[in-house]
Chains A and B, each alone.
Chain A
Amino acid sequence: MLAMILVLTSVGILSGLILGWVHSLTEGPVEEAARRARIEAISQVLPPFDNDPSASVVDISVSGQPKPFRVYPATEGGRFVGAAVESYSMDGFSGEIDIIYGFDAEGAVVDYHVMHHAETPGLGAKMEQWFRMPEGHRSVIGLNPATARVAVTKDGGDVDAITAATITSRAFLGALREAHEAFEIYKKQQNS
């Protein structure tokens, strides 16, 4: 009896110590890796800039949305050239989708980067490339959600849905519309 308690307790303590040690060892690199991935995505989706967008990040709440959107403003020579918006959607086929969209100063889409998703490989997962392909009306690059109808053609919009993945496409375009809304709110705040 005593042997059992002793063995189980000491194994538990030992494992806790090891895990604590590994955690303290990896904590820094884990944060660093996440930060680097985000910075890389932000510079991929923005027009040329010379400031540090992460330094002037702003959280923008959009009414009706559960979480605020992070807006990373970009400037070149002090002039506002656009912003990257960290957006998300809960309407995907499986779990949350996190996407960073980049807009130019007028609000047209420059590029996007899917940070995290769990959509079906070969179907919904194609969104990583699909919405910048030149074929048909797939691409959202250059579209300005203020003037274009950012929705799948089935819903009366201007964008072709991914073949056999309409749910993912709707989620992607919904996240884009909300990102643009946050972008417009940000611009209004700056001008007032």
Chain B
Amino acid sequence: MKLLNIIYNGLVRENPTFVLLLGMCPTLGTTGSAITGMSMGLATMAVLICSNMSVSAVRRIVPAAVRIPVYIVLIATFVSALQMLMAAYLPALNATLGIFIPLIVVNCILLGRAEAFASRNGVIASAADGIGIGLGFTVALTLLGACREFLGTGKVFGFEIYPETYGSLIFVLAPGAFIVLGLLMAVFKHFSTR
């Protein structure tokens, strides 16, 4: 029950994108389509679960003065391993996400959860937090990607809803990312504060 609560917390109450406003760089950069947004969310979730669990496992033996360097080394290790695995087994996806995979290292969601949650809780609870926050991030990125893809190209997950010529290109480009993100945040706020 407590674990479900932690996951719900990450998905809704402390949603990293709509409530905490963390990790904006990949949020804006990789959501040109629903599928890239979802892939980025899942990649971040995988790293977040691993980093949360390992930070939690070493939390009692790491001196407070060097905790941040230790967290960063752990996060960077998982990100590098993930990138090598993606280059080997999902080369097309790796090429699409490009620089944003190595940039997961400096995604403040990871360091934020390591400091705020994993360094104070057990391994299982930290894994649950990783799943919750990761799911929240993935859902937000998929939603944002789907809206931008729909408005910009008339497709959702690559399936054509209306002809591309009626789409407005701005939603696929960077300014559209800000506009759609702002609107989605307003919608999220409206339903979560009622």
Q: Mark B82-100, 1 if CB is under 8 A from A, else 0.
A: 0011011101000100100
Query: Chain B interface mostly helix, strand, loop or mixed?
Result: helix
CB proximity to B under 8 Å, residues A70-107: none
User: Whole-angstrom distance from the CB of B87 to the nearest CB of chain A?
Assistant: 5
Contacts of A29 in B (CB 8 A): 88-89
Size bin of chain A's contact surface: 20 to 34
The interface of chain B, by Cβ under 8 A from chain A, is 32, 58, 61-63, 65-66, 69-70, 73-74, 76-77, 80-81, 84-85, 87-89, 91, 95, 98, 152-153, 169, 172-173
Given known A7-B62, A26-B84, A29-B88, contact A122–B76 (CB-CB < 8 A): no
Contacts of B62 in A (CB 8 A): 7
Pick 30 A–B contacts, CB within 8 A, sort by A: A3-B63, A4-B66, A7-B66, A8-B69, A8-B70, A11-B70, A11-B73, A11-B74, A15-B74, A15-B77, A18-B77, A19-B77, A19-B81, A19-B84, A22-B85, A26-B85, A26-B87, A26-B89, A30-B87, A30-B88, A33-B89, A37-B91, A116-B95, A120-B173, A121-B32, A121-B172, A121-B173, A122-B153, A122-B169, A123-B169
CB pair A122–B172 under 8 Å, yes or no, is yes
Contacts of A19 in B (CB 8 A): 77, 80-81, 84
Contacts of B69 in A (CB 8 A): 8
The CA-CA distance from A34 to B89 in the complex, in Å, is 11
CB pair A8–B169 under 8 Å, yes or no, is no
Closest partner residue, chain A, to B87 (CB atom): A30
Closest partner residue, chain A, to B77 (CB atom): A15
A12 sits at the interface (CB 8 A): yes
The CA-CA distance from A122 to B87 in the complex, in Å, is 25
Closest partner residue, chain B, to A36 (CB atom): B91
A133 sits at the interface (CB 8 A): no
Q: List the 9 closest pairs (A to B, CB-CB), nearest first.
A: A29-B88, A26-B88, A15-B77, A33-B91, A26-B84, A22-B81, A122-B172, A4-B66, A30-B88
The interface of chain A, by Cβ under 8 A from chain B, is 3-4, 7-8, 11-12, 15, 18-19, 22-23, 25-26, 28-30, 33-34, 37, 116, 118, 120-123
Contacts of B172 in A (CB 8 A): 121-122
User: Whole-angstrom distance from the CB of A92 to the nearest CB of chain B?
Assistant: 15
Among A7, A18, A28, A30, the residue within 8 A (CB) of B63 is A7
Query: Chain A interface mostly helix, strand, loop or mixed?
Result: helix
The CA-CA distance from A26 to B63 in the complex, in Å, is 34
Among A8, A23, A33, A121, the residue within 8 A (CB) of B66 is A8
Contacts of A34 in B (CB 8 A): 91
The CA-CA distance from A25 to B82 in the complex, in Å, is 12
Contacts of A123 in B (CB 8 A): 169
Closest partner residue, chain A, to B167 (CB atom): A122
User: Whole-angstrom distance from the CB of A137 to the nearest CB of chain B?
Assistant: 20
User: Whole-angstrom distance from the CB of A138 to the nearest CB of chain B?
Assistant: 16
CB pair A22–B61 under 8 Å, yes or no, is no
Q: Given known contacts A4-B63, A25-B84, A116-B95, what 16 new A-B pairs fall within 8 Å (CB)?
A: A8-B69, A8-B73, A11-B74, A15-B73, A19-B80, A22-B80, A22-B85, A23-B84, A25-B88, A28-B88, A29-B88, A30-B87, A37-B91, A120-B173, A121-B173, A122-B172
The CA-CA distance from A158 to B3 in the complex, in Å, is 65
The CA-CA distance from A23 to B77 in the complex, in Å, is 12
CB pair A18–B70 under 8 Å, yes or no, is no
Contacts of B73 in A (CB 8 A): 8, 11-12, 15
